[in-house]
Amino acid sequence: MKRKIYMAAGANTISMGTGRKEFNPRKERPGLEHYISTAGQASLAQISNPELIDEVYVGNFMAGRFNRQGHLGGFAATINPTLEYKPSMRVEGACGSGGLALISAIRSVLSETSSVALALGVEVQNTVKAIYGADILATAGWSKKRKEGHAYFFPGQFSDRAGVYYEKYGYDYARKGMGRWFRNAIDNARLDPTAQEYHNDTADLEEAYHQAVPNGKFFVDHLNFFDCSKVSDGASAILVTSEEGLAQLGISKKDAVEVVGFAQLTRNITNDPPNPVEMTTVGKAAAKALEDAGITIDQVGTAEVHDCFSIAGILTVEALGLAAQGEGAAWVAEGNTARDGKLPINTTGGLIGWGHPTGATGVHQAVTIWQQLTGKAGAAQVSLNPERPYGLTINMGGDDVTVVAIVYKRAD
């Protein structure tokens, strides 16, 4: 890249929803403005002067239907008065909206339109019943296929993927890997006080997972509720800066990460996935970002991937080339993606454990990588192999439609 790009001063709100002890669906809860201002202010509290922020990008999927609120760029000044009359806009790519906020900020700094941009992602989804929420989330797919899909549209889509995986490679084999994915997610979430599953005290996670046999009469044919990310309210924020901007903010490089590669790819939403047991766009985007960074997946020390469903995690492991097609379930079951494994993945719980406030997820992933690479992850900190100094995030919108992949390293 012609200009060095950094990220720093990341912050998350709590990912709120079922599983958190303080969540009560019968009581009024904070709205969009609370989450936007809370995450933004926590980020700005880490810098010397908020006036140095040139632009704001807000990633959000569907506030127009969940909250009856559009025009989210107009909320920037609720974070800090200095952001009023500065460029601020909302970007959308379904569950990949947070990643698009990051990419928009990166491109702005690269083009020298800004030196410091605030990337923020937000979603408040616990405003409707689950079945209505599923219908809203279904707009991340092609509307003409909505009537043909399951009532729970995206669980149905990924249930279909899981069903083909079972047929090709074996039901018990696949469920063993998916059960370990769930266990890793909750184990990691228990170490992050902002995670939705932070309070989960289930004694034997894999036993609980396997006792919940998928049943299409009650949910979808090939997944249980543990296979799915939850409905979440939350926001995350992080600053994207040039080298000059980082210095002006008073942030030491030891407290920042450098963006060394990125890719944003989109496939035709009107087509079915090319292969139901392959995350094609994820694989292409990750390969492009790694090539951009000049590294291989074997040099990545930790990754945050888009596990909206456990089968998506397994298929992403294969798409990254960590395991051959059909061998991802075994690779996960062997503990390779656990926090003490070969490549720790989703170290604060990922979408299944930390939560999935859809528009915020991509930014949350970046915040987690920033925390891990700078040693700021607290109890969730993993020990990084010095021979694998890079971090990777993969944020996906829809069924492998919009994908943002970013490669990071600790700034030096």
| Residues of the domain holding 102 | 5-129+231-254
Give the Cα separation of 355 and 17 in Å (integer): 8
CA 367, CA 398: separation in Å to the nearest integer? 22
pLDDT of residue 247: 96
CATH of the domain at 241: 3.40.47.10
* Torsion sign, CA atoms 398, 93, 299, 371: negative
Q: Would 160 be classed as within a structural domain?
A: no
Asked, for residue 122, whether it belongs to a domain, the answer is yes
Q: Is residue 16 part of a domain?
A: yes
Query: Do the beta carbons of residue 95 and residue 395 sit within 8 Å?
Result: yes
DSSP string spanning 139-200? Answer: GGS-GGGGGGS-SSHHHHHHHHHHHHHHHHH-HHHHHHHHHHHHHHHHHHHTT-TTSTTTT-
Q: Give the pLDDT score at 340.
A: 97
Residues of the chain with confidence (pLDDT) below 50 = none
Distance CA 209, CA 42 (A): 36
E strand map for 267-412: 300-304, 390-397, 402-410
Distance (Å, whole) CA 367 – CA 346: 12
Phi, psi of 147, rounded to the nearest 5 degrees: -65, -25
Burial of 150 (0-12, 13-18, 19+ CB in 10 A): middle
Residue 199 burial class via C-beta count within 10 angstroms: exposed 0-12, middle 13-18, buried 19 and up: middle
Assigned domain for 300 exists = no
Domain count, the chain: 1
Adjacency order of strands within the sheet including 5-12: 88-91, 55-59, 116-124, 233-241, 5-12, 256-266, 402-410, 390-397, 300-304
Cβ–Cβ contacts within 10 Å for residue 387, how many?
8
Residue 237 in domain: yes
Asked if residue 226 lies in contact with residue 371, where contact means CB atoms within 8 angstroms, the answer is no
Q: State pLDDT tens for residues 344-399.
A: 999 999 999 999 999 999 999 999 999 999 999 999 999 999 999 999 999 999 99
> What is the model's pLDDT at position 381?
98
Find out whether 16 and 29 touch, Cβ atoms under 8 Å. Answer: yes
Contact 318, 161 (CB under 8 A): no
330 in any annotated domain: no
Question: Does residue 55 form part of some domain?
Answer: yes
Tell me how far apart the alpha carbons of residues 387 and 91 are, in angstroms, rounded to a whole number.
36
Task: Say how far apart CA 314 and CA 177 lie, in whole Å.
Answer: 7
What confidence tens digit (pLDDT) does each residue in 282-313 have? 999 999 999 999 999 999 999 999 999 999 99
